[in-house]
Amino acid sequence: MLDILYQDEHLIAVNKPSGWLVHRSWLDRHEKVVVMQTVRDQIGQHVFTVHRLDRPTSGVLLMALSSEVARQMSQQFEHHQINKVYHAVVRGHVHEADTIDYPLVEQLDKIADKFAKQDKDAQPAISHYRGLSQVEVPIAVGPYDTARYSLVELTPQTGRKHQLRRHMKHIFHPIIGDSAYGDLRHNRAVVEHFGCQGLMLHASHLALQHPVTHQPLLISAPWDSRWQNLMTEFGWSSQCPEYNGVEINLAITQDSLVR
């Protein structure tokens, strides 16, 4: 059973666990744990994707309950009319708030994108970030006797593949648990000393205008036990956002989410 964060006759949002695929593809046709199929079985109704989260990313995942609503919501995502706020645990100390404006070349799958154009130009990619808390722990990683980590808030302005993960690597603060772009030594250290496995990237908030009622919605997804345990270990429990379910009729803006 998945945690349903919001549901009406048009939309449903769930708290996607880390490690779950959003939907099955021919590359993962034998995968048994799939969000769309689980939600369909849980509510007894077909669902339609409107956006995706990477398999290792947890948090708010929105789906439509009709093809027409799915089309409208997909347009909102394509036109950057939906605000998304993520939290991540990264290597090193991040104190500042800043913007990463760094174009990204589209990453193609060797099999699925076999016939796609291989030499595409880099596409504009913009992410905003803000350091929330920092810690230095007495564990040796590589040549250092201590390890530094930060809790950051991330807001993508564009939606490129693996954008936040690639952008944090670009500024030398890779996300902990990232096997593709992260620091493997720190990934192993966090597992060994704190028992925390997986990518520490969570889609905490999703702000949108309802496609039918046109009311503004702010949907929030609480952190799982893995996150809560690490927040306790690092002394960051006070940084856990307040999750009040779904807030309606709010003046939701980009600034209100990231400040």
Convert the pLDDT of each residue in 13-57 to its tens digit.
999 999 999 987 655 566 677 999 999 999 999 999 999 999 999
> For residue 112, is pLDDT > 70?
no
User: What is the band of 234 on the pLDDT scale with cuts at 50, 70, 90?
Assistant: very high
C-alpha closest to that of 78 among 166, 208, 170: 208
Asked if residue 253 belongs to a domain, the reply is no
Do 19 and 56 meet the contact criterion of CB atoms below 8 Å apart?
yes
Q: Could you identify the residue written with the tokens 């006797």? A: 145
Per-residue model confidence as pLDDT tens digits over 223-233: 999 999 999 99
Per-residue model confidence as pLDDT tens digits over 131-179: 999 999 999 998 999 999 999 999 999 999 999 999 999 999 999 999 9
What mean pLDDT comes out for the span 92-113?
Answer: 83
- Token readout for 99 is 């913007």
| pLDDT at 64 (0 to 100) | 98
Beta-strand (E) ranges in the chain?
4-7, 11-16, 48-49, 58-64, 83-91, 97-101, 126-137, 147-156, 201-209, 216-220, 246-248
Do 257 and 155 meet the contact criterion of CB atoms below 8 Å apart?
yes
| pLDDT at 240 (0 to 100) | 74
Please indicate whether residue 54 is annotated as part of the active site: yes
SS3 state of residue 255: helix
Asked if residue 256 belongs to a domain, the reply is no
- Token readout for 229 is 């345990």
Residue span of the structural domain in which 238 resides: 4-109+119-247
> For residue 242, is pLDDT > 70?
no
User: What is the band of 108 on the pLDDT scale with cuts at 50, 70, 90?
Assistant: low
> For residue 253, is pLDDT > 70?
no
> For residue 259, is pLDDT > 60?
no
Asked if residue 220 belongs to a domain, the reply is yes
Give the CATH number of the domain where residue 57 resides.
Answer: 3.30.2350.10
Burial class of residue 87, CB neighbours in 10 A (0-12, 13-18, 19+): buried
Asked if residue 258 belongs to a domain, the reply is no
Give CA torsion, residues 95, 98, 102, 107, to 10 deg.
60
User: What is the band of 106 on the pLDDT scale with cuts at 50, 70, 90?
Assistant: confident
When the pLDDT of each residue in the chain is averaged and rounded to a whole number, the result is 89
What mean pLDDT comes out for the span 94-110?
Answer: 88
Catalytic residue among 3, 28, 54, 178: 54
Asked if residue 259 belongs to a domain, the reply is no
| pLDDT at 120 (0 to 100) | 75
Positive or negative, the Cα torsion across 169, 171, 175, 176? positive
SS3 state of residue 246: strand
Q: What does 43-92 look like in DSSP terms, one character per residue?
A: HTS--EES----TT-EEEEEEESSHHHHHHHHHHHHTT-SEEEEEEEEES
pTM for the whole structure: 0.90
Largest CA distance in the chain: 57
| pLDDT at 236 (0 to 100) | 94
The number of folded domains in the chain is: 1
- Token readout for 200 is 């520490």
103/101 Cα distance (integer angstroms): 7
Burial class of residue 165, CB neighbours in 10 A (0-12, 13-18, 19+): buried
Asked if residue 85 belongs to a domain, the reply is yes
Do 87 and 222 meet the contact criterion of CB atoms below 8 Å apart?
no
User: What is the band of 235 on the pLDDT scale with cuts at 50, 70, 90?
Assistant: very high
| pLDDT at 202 (0 to 100) | 98
Asked if residue 254 belongs to a domain, the reply is no
Asked if residue 255 belongs to a domain, the reply is no
| pLDDT at 239 (0 to 100) | 80
